[in-house]
Amino acid sequence: MYRGRQAETPLLNAMLKYVKDGVVPFHTPGHKQGKGIHPLLGELISKETLELDLALMEELDDFHEPHGCIKKAQDLAAELYGADHSFFVINGTTGGIYAMIMTIAGPGDKIIVPRNAHRSIIGGIILNGAIPVFMHPAVDHDLGLAMGVTPETVEITVKQHPDAKGVLIINPTYYGVSTDLKKIVDIVHEHNMVVIVDEAHGPHLKFDERLPLQALDAGADICAQSTHKIIGALTQCSIVHCREGRISVPRLKAMLQLVQSTSPNYILLASLDVARMQMALQGRELISKSIELAEWVRREINTIPGLYCFGKEKIGESGVYSIDPTKVTVSVKELGLRGAEAERILRHQYKVQVELSDIYNILFLITLGDTEKEAAILVDALRDMAAKYARSCDFSTMNTACVSVRYPEPPEGVLSPREALFGNQCTVPFKHSAGHICAEIVTFYPPGIPLLCPGERITQEIINYCDQLQKAGLHISGPEDYTLKTIKVVD
């Protein structure tokens, strides 16, 4: 795909040169290139890898003020993805999202975000004291999934809140659903706001036209991609890309320094360098193969009675502009199973591990690491599970796989999430909490849209609704008391 400079790995090369020079280390880490490590770990990690566990020094550049090999590696990433600047992040896209939010907004500033925001988005808002303005995504009630936020919803929200600093969009979703991002970017820019994109699940979008449009190509100002989730970097490795203009690059650098370690793991950094090189040289070929494999898996699954794997037929429905086919979402509702049950069956009976499960669905990722062999194992396991474990949906017994999920009106925001989280708190019985200001996040799956966020007033409607969902056996996430007998509120 690319040649010339993109075939280089400047950071990895600098690390290898340092080791080859035979330097006697009197610096961190304490295991001194593996010589002091316990055999239990030393037998698992190769000597060559442990030698590359290095620290900041002149020829290895400064992670927070790079001018050498790290800067060269980051500049190559920017060139590949079409950014003005790219920055390596080694505490996951969570760290990147924190930095992006703190770059465009400060305490008391409004930021428009989807209601189904990942906890890292809420965490970033809590850290910087911003005020979230929530937009509701479209919901597919049959699948029990939150889809994308529509351009129409974005336009209404930015007109209602012209003083907001920016709009954050999740695109694509965990389940591979993409909204019309280009149209949203145009709407937001017309109102002189910044567009942030949580593109955690999109580091591969650049490399095949059958995939949704990547954020930078849609005109977004800044985005964060989880390089480790879909392509070849190690876990925790992400990249933040930005364009100059609406983004203050010095401020972004400062915020990245604030949320990242001063002792970066060079092996993680090198994996970002190599993953970028791999995509530059082989990205189109690798991603094309992943798409074709995923489409074969999807076709096969849709021949299995009781299973359904959505795809292009959803395009055009509310919140669905395009689909990433490498995300294989399988509804097990018609088998009478919950997603968590199907996950356990696959793991323990077939040694197949899903990416995640919710009440109706199980999700599989097809990536550059998969072949026809793994795809066939997956399809065979699903076919056998469907034949052996199906049971009828009995609404009279509240079989949780058959419950329809609909949400009440969103609650009133009274305090900022930061004020609620750091203020005085007390614990009250949830059934008697109406009127109190919530100090926790309360989310049920599906479809993973928070019913309550810190700073919002609890209503009797929400209490009653939560009780219905609990009786139906839906999964709850967020509160300290996961049984929801009690809840933390602002005192």
Spatial distance between the Cα atoms of 179 and 144, rounded to a whole number of angstroms? 17
Nearest to 194 by CA among 142, 264, 245: 245
- Is 372 within 8 Å of 292 (Cβ atoms)? no
Q: CA of 290: how far to CAs of 168, 309, 326, in Å? A: 28, 17, 7
- Residue 410 predicted with pLDDT over 90: no
CB-based burial of residue 31 (10 Å sphere; 0-12 exposed, 13-18 middle, 19+ buried)?
middle
Spatial distance between the Cα atoms of 110 and 160, rounded to a whole number of angstroms? 12
Mean pLDDT of 405-420: 83
Residue 232's pLDDT is 96
Q: Provide the token pair at 39.
A: 């055999």
- Residue 447 predicted with pLDDT over 80: no
Q: CA of 111: how far to CAs of 157, 163, 257, in Å? A: 11, 9, 22
Residue 359's pLDDT is 80
Task: Tell me the angle at which helices 266-301 and 69-81 cross, rounded to the nearest 10 degrees.
Answer: 30
Spatial distance between the Cα atoms of 445 and 405, rounded to a whole number of angstroms? 9
Give a three-class secondary structure readout of 400-427: HHHCCCCCCCCCCECCCHHHHHHCCEEE
Give the position of tokens 């007998």: 485
Q: What does the chain come to in residues?
A: 491
Amino acid code (one letter) for 265 = N
Q: CA of 407: how far to CAs of 137, 361, 397, in Å? A: 12, 19, 22
pLDDT bracket for residue 392 (50, 70, 90) = low
Spatial distance between the Cα atoms of 216 and 243, rounded to a whole number of angstroms? 8
- Residue 30 predicted with pLDDT over 60: yes
Spatial distance between the Cα atoms of 388 and 383, rounded to a whole number of angstroms? 9
Residue 143's pLDDT is 92
- Is 48 within 8 Å of 57 (Cβ atoms)? no
Tell me the percentage of the chain whose pLDDT exceeds 70.
95
- Is 8 within 8 Å of 16 (Cβ atoms)? no
Q: Give the HSE-up count for residue 243: Cα atoms under 13 Å, Cβ half-sphere.
A: 15
Task: List beta partners, residue 323.
Answer: 177
Residue 449's pLDDT is 76
Spatial distance between the Cα atoms of 341 and 357, rounded to a whole number of angstroms? 9
Task: List beta partners, residue 87.
Answer: 240
pLDDT in tens, 106-141: 999 999 999 988 888 999 999 999 999 999 999 998
pLDDT in tens, 180-211: 999 999 999 999 999 999 999 999 999 999 99
Q: Give the HSE-up count for residue 343: Cα atoms under 13 Å, Cβ half-sphere.
A: 16
pLDDT in tens, 322-365: 999 999 999 999 999 988 899 999 999 999 999 998 888 999 99
Spatial distance between the Cα atoms of 331 and 333, rounded to a whole number of angstroms? 6
* b/e map 35-70, b = 16+ CB within 10 Å: eebeeeeeeeeeeeebbbbbebeeebbebbebeebb
Spatial distance between the Cα atoms of 157 and 113, rounded to a whole number of angstroms? 10
Task: Please provide the average confidence, as pLDDT, over all residues in the chain.
Answer: 93
Q: Provide the token pair at 98.
A: 């924190």
Mean pLDDT of 14-41: 94
Omega cis (within 30) before 446: yes
Q: Provide the token pair at 67.
A: 């001018």
pLDDT bracket for residue 62 (50, 70, 90) = very high
Residue 403's pLDDT is 52
| Gyration radius of the chain over CA positions | 24
pLDDT bracket for residue 155 (50, 70, 90) = very high
User: What is 114-160 written as a DSSP string?
Assistant: ETT--HHHHHHHHHHT-EEEEEPPPEETTTTEE-PPPHHHHHHHHHH
Mean pLDDT of 163-183: 97
- Is 378 within 8 Å of 300 (Cβ atoms)? no
- Residue 472 predicted with pLDDT over 80: no
Report CA dihedral (34, 35, 37, 41) to the nearest 10 degrees.
60
- Is 194 within 8 Å of 221 (Cβ atoms)? yes
Q: Provide the token pair at 158.
A: 């930015």
Q: Provide the token pair at 167.
A: 């709009």
pLDDT bracket for residue 398 (50, 70, 90) = very low
- Residue 394 predicted with pLDDT over 60: no
Angle ∠(288,275,15) on CA atoms, nearest 5: 160
pLDDT in tens, 221-252: 999 999 999 999 999 999 999 999 999 999 99
Q: What is the pTM of this model?
A: 0.93
- Residue 443 predicted with pLDDT over 90: no
- Is 222 within 8 Å of 242 (Cβ atoms)? yes
CB atoms inside a 10 Å sphere around CB 195: 26
